[in-house]
Amino acid sequence: MDINVIGRRIMERRKASGLSQNELASRAGVTAQAVSKWENGHNLPDIENLVIIAEILGTSLSALTDDADEYFFSGYRYRLFDEDKMFTRVKTFALEEHLEDTLSALTFMRDKHSGQYRKSSRFSNKKVAYINHPLLMACHAHALGITDDSILAAILLHDVVEDTDTDIDVLPVSDEVREIVKLVTFRIVPGMSKDDSKALYYNGIAKNKKASLVKIIDRCNNVSTMSASFERKKLIAYIHETEQYIIPLLTILKDTAPEYNNAVFLIKYQLISLLESIKALCSEQ
């Protein structure tokens, strides 16, 4: 989509709505100069501003951008990394490092999640193969220096039981990996509220350093993509849960598992940076 076309459509719909540039700017929380630059094709509004503008002008995002999916969510904004390349990367280091559980989990996970997809963004109709998520987690963990076979295998399998209705006993891995997967699989306990079940769930994870590491890497990956996937209300709730349960897990790991100190530092840095950035953006809305 040509930047000039987007600018022209904003101008046309602004005028049709009987708004001046100043009025649109005021309602969108930007300067009149910014609106002028958009309409003249000098600058392109970011996706958040486009959503706000579309709402103000009583139109849709696609009406302003036409091929917005292709324009805004191509390349790295569509998905961070290609799942086929990540699959090859995980298989390669698992073979080189003789990680038997990881190799077994890799193929099993791919088969079980076959045909499952995640929506890439609330602004797009594109879908991403579900395995992109566990593969990205495994690559992230390995890049952080985590080479423990049981952790990497559990990362690959962490959603299999919950999302494919697979019995934990059939996972083709060691008992240790099954235990980690069991701990990170959330279930509402019969007779308990969701909040109480969640507190019990995180308490169990906190007692196992490997399960804790799997969970914080999972949350780091989800937080990294949630701003494009979650509505504001869900964003705020997810941030609250992360601060209530995940940040304390990082502290516990730092104090009890010095072998993971470097990984914990980097994950904590990424998580808190993302959370504070998203909180700042939410507070401006």
We report the CATH number of the domain holding residue 44 as: 1.10.260.40
- pLDDT value of position 58: 86
Band of pLDDT at residue 16, cut at 50, 70 and 90: confident
The verdict on 119 and 166 lying in the same domain is yes
Nearest Cα residue to 279 out of 226, 217, 221: 226
The verdict on 159 and 269 lying in the same domain is yes
Summarised one tens digit per residue, pLDDT across range 99-112 is 999 999 999 999 99
The verdict on 250 and 158 lying in the same domain is yes
Beta strands in 114-163 (DSSP E): 117-119, 127-129
Q: Which domain holds residue 195?
A: 76-284
The verdict on 119 and 247 lying in the same domain is yes
Segment holding 218, helix H or strand E: helix 209-229
Higher pLDDT, 36 or 227: 36
Sign of the C-alpha dihedral, residues 154, 186, 134, 139? negative
The verdict on 121 and 228 lying in the same domain is yes
Distance of CA 41 to the CA centre of its chain: 32
Annotated catalytic residue, options 162, 195, 255, 276: 162
Question: Which of 72, 107, 132 is at the close of a domain?
Answer: 72
Annotated catalytic residue, options 84, 111, 163, 195: 163
Q: Is residue 83 annotated as a catalytic residue, yes or no?
A: no
Query: Is the per-residue pLDDT at 229 higher than 80?
Result: no
Q: Of all residues in the chain, what percent are helix, strand and coil, respectively (each to 5)?
A: 70, 0, 25
The verdict on 152 and 98 lying in the same domain is yes
Mean pLDDT is lowest, of 55-59, 145-149, 156-160, 269-273, for 55-59
Give the CATH number, domain containing residue 104.
1.10.3210.10
Mean pLDDT of the chain: 88
The verdict on 51 and 124 lying in the same domain is no
Please compute, for residue 127, the number of CA atoms within 13 A of its CA located in the half-sphere on the CB side: 7
pTM above 0.95, yes or no: no
Q: Helices 209-229 and 232-241 sit at what angle, rounded to 10 degrees?
A: 160
The verdict on 101 and 161 lying in the same domain is yes
The verdict on 178 and 121 lying in the same domain is yes
Sign of the C-alpha dihedral, residues 259, 271, 119, 81? negative
Q: Are 23 and 33 in contact (CB under 8 A)?
A: no
Q: How many domains does the chain have?
A: 2
Question: Which of 21, 47, 72 is at the close of a domain?
Answer: 72
Q: Is residue 259 annotated as a catalytic residue, yes or no?
A: no
Band of pLDDT at residue 44, cut at 50, 70 and 90: confident
Query: Is the per-residue pLDDT at 25 higher than 50?
Result: yes
The verdict on 138 and 277 lying in the same domain is yes
Over residues 179-185, the mean pLDDT reads: 98
Over residues 113-123, the mean pLDDT reads: 78
Summarised one tens digit per residue, pLDDT across range 129-150 is 899 999 999 999 999 999 999 9
| Residues in CB range of 210: below 8 A, 6 or more apart | 148, 150, 151, 154, 176, 180
Query: Is the per-residue pLDDT at 41 higher than 70?
Result: yes
The verdict on 23 and 117 lying in the same domain is no
Summarised one tens digit per residue, pLDDT across range 240-271 is 999 999 999 999 999 999 999 999 999 999 99
The verdict on 27 and 93 lying in the same domain is no
Question: Which of 72, 104, 131 is at the close of a domain?
Answer: 72
